Structure 1
């Protein structure tokens, strides 16, 4: 079971969610896709952790 797909705004992620929606009827396609926000949050957290560790 797939609840959500998280990724940046690249077109290949759109293609992936469209293919999953066709292959898995219970998958809600673009509604179940979390765009850019989490990608940016990941970058911010990673940079902060690196600055703490270095």
Structure 2
């Protein structure tokens, strides 16, 4: 599921984190800092996103 272009399984956003080896890029959804390539997950306009 980590390369199918949809958010599924344990992915935090489309094809990133959860069971996927790829961390989420800036602007993608996150739950913790560890979800993000930048290691920075922040609340942005009411939505948790990688920055």
Report the TM-score, using the length of structure 1 for normalisation.
Answer: 0.20
Bigger helix fraction: 1
Bigger strand fraction: 2
Structure with larger RCO (C-alpha < 8 A, sep 6+): 1
Report the TM-score, using the length of structure 2 for normalisation.
Answer: 0.20
Q: Flag the structure with larger Rg.
A: 1
